């Protein structure tokens, strides 16, 4: 069966109108980054010279962050202590766009806090220190949680339970929440921690990782078929519609109660940090399903979101724009990413490339009908620099230079074709007859033109050379001319 096309933009627009009720164990995540300098003389452990630290909303709070950053609204219910960490979390949630929090305070327990010490050079976690009380909430606090949760279900399109086994999702809280959600016709996703999946009975989808699934089902879970075989009994026990098993670099396997299992391979990606990747997966699933996506589409969204998350440091959230770039093919995105349309975008990109010590090259033309001669010049131009900017004559400019019957293609079409070429890093449309103002603004390290010009004929050569750059002339490919191609296409002589 062919994989259906994922209309990301339409789905993202629907997601923006959805609300996810997220309930679970919030924690304060702190990452201390530094360099390993030596081994401690007191114990055979590495000593990290701390250089910087970052604070993140972690645990179920990170699920909420991801829901909001993916474009949906998140109503979050969690438990904090009456301490500094709890105040910091409440303040951070209040400032986060798209999140509405309803935190229950329990003065008898500390807010869960985790501090990770990470080697900056190797991106390796050396040590984690935890401050927590992983005990079930008291009867009093359970009642307050339930009274907070139940009125919020009517506002949600989907309910997400993020269980970190820190005391929020007791059997009683889960039961009241799932039953109320089912009665209201709202799907429930559970990221489980307990191995007794009977307590989640009635949820729509369970999302264990491979280790959790293997322990709960007492199976090896070495392959998608192993997962399918082991899922039947536990789905009956949990009375759920489907189980999704996340398997890191092995991908994800979804087993629905009715229908065929679906396996989605992981995106090839350089892993920097897996902290919070599971949070990103369940958030992407929740917003996709809330927007009416089918299982296959929701899985593809979740897999792409996980690939973005593990490529970042720390407890990461993923934006809709990042997810879009991961899902859609590069050629589809080329025009949006490479064509300068917004004021200031060129200067911002130039500044970024210069910070990276990139050599910037420039060439220009009308590029009305792209042919092998153009490709040769553009490829050679890219070889002379690290980043190639192409100046493109606007439609009005082409008419003045070539006549009233040109261009054959408008400036947007010509820009999109250029942007799709691997050799081109940026396309800038200019209105003047020559690109001298653009060259003066860019001051490229290399100014490239075809060999049918002399150095003195190349517009902007004085500007470039005065700034220490060079003019590069590329031998043209004989037999190719846009004017001749247009003439032939319009029925002229060969």
Q: What is the DSSP string of 32-49?
A: EEEEEEEE-SSSSSEEEE
- Give the residue ranges of DSSP H helices in 139-276: 139-149, 171-183, 210-217, 224-238
Average pLDDT for residues 439-466, to the nearest whole number? 92
128 is in an annotated binding site: no
List the structure tokens of 360.
């910037």
| Total residue length of the chain | 494
Answer yes or no: is pLDDT of 4 > 60. Answer: no
210 is in an annotated binding site: yes
Global pTM reads 0.74
- Please name the helix (run of DSSP H) or strand (run of DSSP E) that holds residue 472, with its range, or none: strand 470-474
Closest to 35 (Cα-Cα) out of 114, 116, 123: 123
Average pLDDT for residues 418-424, to the nearest whole number? 90
| 293-308 confidence digits (pLDDT tens) | 999 999 999 999 999 9
pLDDT value, residue 494: 47
Q: What CA–CA distance (Å, rounded) separates 453 from 477?
A: 13
Query: Cβ(247)–Cβ(209) under 8 Å?
Result: yes
| 261-270 confidence digits (pLDDT tens) | 999 888 877 7
| 79-114 confidence digits (pLDDT tens) | 999 999 999 999 999 999 999 999 999 999 999 999
Backbone φ, ψ for residue 353 (5° rounding): -65, -40
| 352-407 confidence digits (pLDDT tens) | 899 888 999 999 999 988 888 889 899 989 988 999 999 999 999 999 999 998 89
* Least confident residue range of 133-142, 259-268, 436-445: 259-268
pLDDT value, residue 2: 41
Instruction: Sort residue 95 into left (φ over 0), alpha (ψ -120 to 50) or beta.
Output: alpha
Average pLDDT for residues 412-421, to the nearest whole number? 92
196 is in an annotated binding site: no
| 20-66 confidence digits (pLDDT tens) | 999 999 999 998 888 888 888 887 888 888 888 888 899 999 999 99
For residue 481, what pLDDT band results from cuts at 50, 70 and 90? low
Return the top range by mean pLDDT from 206-215, 228-237, 314-323, 327-336. 206-215
- Max alpha carbon distance in the chain (Å)? 91
212 is in an annotated binding site: yes
Is residue 6 classed as helix, strand or coil in its secondary structure?
coil
State percent of the chain over pLDDT 70. Answer: 93
Answer yes or no: is pLDDT of 127 > 50. Answer: yes
pLDDT value, residue 3: 47
CB atoms < 10 A from the CB of 156, how many? 23
Average pLDDT for residues 174-187, to the nearest whole number? 98
| 231-261 confidence digits (pLDDT tens) | 988 999 999 999 999 998 889 999 999 889 9
Angle, nearest 10°, between helix axes 411-419 and 330-338? 120
CB atoms < 10 A from the CB of 107, how many? 8
State percent of the chain over pLDDT 90. Answer: 64
Catalytically annotated residues: 279
Query: Cβ(248)–Cβ(266) under 8 Å?
Result: yes
Alpha-carbon Rg of the chain, whole angstroms?
A: 28
List the structure tokens of 120.
């900056």
Closest to 67 (Cα-Cα) out of 291, 245, 265: 291
Angle, nearest 10°, between helix axes 320-327 and 330-338? 130
List the structure tokens of 440.
């003066």
Q: What CA–CA distance (Å, rounded) separates 85 from 83?
A: 6
Average pLDDT for residues 224-237, to the nearest whole number? 91
Average pLDDT for residues 326-354, to the nearest whole number? 82
List the structure tokens of 99.
């999140």
Q: What CA–CA distance (Å, rounded) separates 237 from 254?
A: 17
């Amino acid at each position: 069966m062919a994989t259906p096309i994922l209309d990301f933009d339409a789905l993202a627009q629907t997601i923006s109108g959805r609300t996810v009720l997220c309930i679970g164990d919030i924690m304060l995540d702190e990452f201390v980054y530094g360099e390993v300098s030596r081994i401690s003389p007191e114990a055979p452990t590495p000593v990290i010279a701390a250089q910087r630290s970052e604070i993140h909303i972690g645990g179920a709070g990170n699920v909420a962050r991801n829901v909001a950053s993916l474009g949906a609204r998140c109503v979050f219910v969690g438990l904090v202590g009456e301490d500094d960490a709890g105040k910091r979390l409440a303040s951070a949630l209040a400032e986060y766009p798209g999140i509405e929090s309803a935190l229950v305070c329990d003065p008898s327990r500390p807010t869960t806090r985790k501090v990770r010490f990470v080697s900056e050079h190797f991106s390796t976690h050396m040590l984690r220190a935890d401050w927590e009380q992983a005990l079930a909430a008291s009867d009093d606090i359970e009642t307050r949680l339930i009274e907070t949760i139940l009125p919020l279900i009517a506002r949600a399109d989907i309910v997400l339970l993020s269980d970190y086994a820190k005391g929020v999702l007791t059997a009683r809280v889960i039961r009241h929440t799932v039953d109320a959600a089912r009665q209201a016709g709202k799907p429930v996703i559970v990221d489980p921690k307990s191995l007794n999946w009977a307590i989640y009975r009635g949820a729509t989808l369970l999302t264990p990782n491979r280790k959790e699934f293997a322990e709960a089902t007492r199976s090896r879970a070495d392959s998608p078929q192993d997962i399918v075989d082991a899922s039947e009994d536990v789905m009956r026990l949990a009375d759920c519609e489907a189980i999704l098993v996340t398997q890191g670099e092995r991908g994800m396997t979804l087993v629905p109660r009715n229908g065929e299992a679906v396996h989605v391979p992981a995106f090839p990606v350089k892993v920097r940090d897996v902290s919070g990747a599971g949070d990103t997966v369940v958030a992407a699933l929740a917003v996709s399903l809330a927007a009416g996506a089918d299982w296959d589409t929701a899985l593809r969204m979740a897999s792409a979101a996980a690939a973005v998350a593990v490529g970042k440091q720390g407890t990461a959230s993923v934006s809709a724009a990042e997810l879009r770039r991961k899902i859609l093919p590069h050629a589809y995105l080329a025009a949006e990413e490479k064509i300068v349309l917004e004021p200031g975008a060129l200067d911002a990109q130039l500044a970024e490339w210069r910070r990276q010590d990139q050599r910037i090259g420039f060439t220009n033309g009308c590029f009305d009908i792209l042919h092998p001669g153009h490709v040769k010049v553009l490829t050679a131009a890219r070889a002379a620099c690290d980043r190639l900017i192409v100046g493109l004559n606007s439609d009005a400019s082409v008419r003045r230079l070539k006549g009233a019957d040109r261009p054959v293609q408008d400036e947007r079409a010509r820009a999109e074709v250029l942007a799709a070429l691997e050799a081109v890093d940026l396309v800038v449309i200019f209105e003047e007859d020559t690109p001298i103002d653009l060259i003066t603004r860019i001051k490229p390290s290399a100014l490239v033109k075809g060999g049918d010009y002399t150095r003195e004929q190349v517009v902007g050569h004085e500007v470039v050379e005065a700034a220490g750059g060079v003019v590069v002339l590329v031998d043209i490919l004989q037999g190719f001319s846009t004017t001749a191609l247009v003439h032939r296409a319009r029925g002229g002589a060969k």
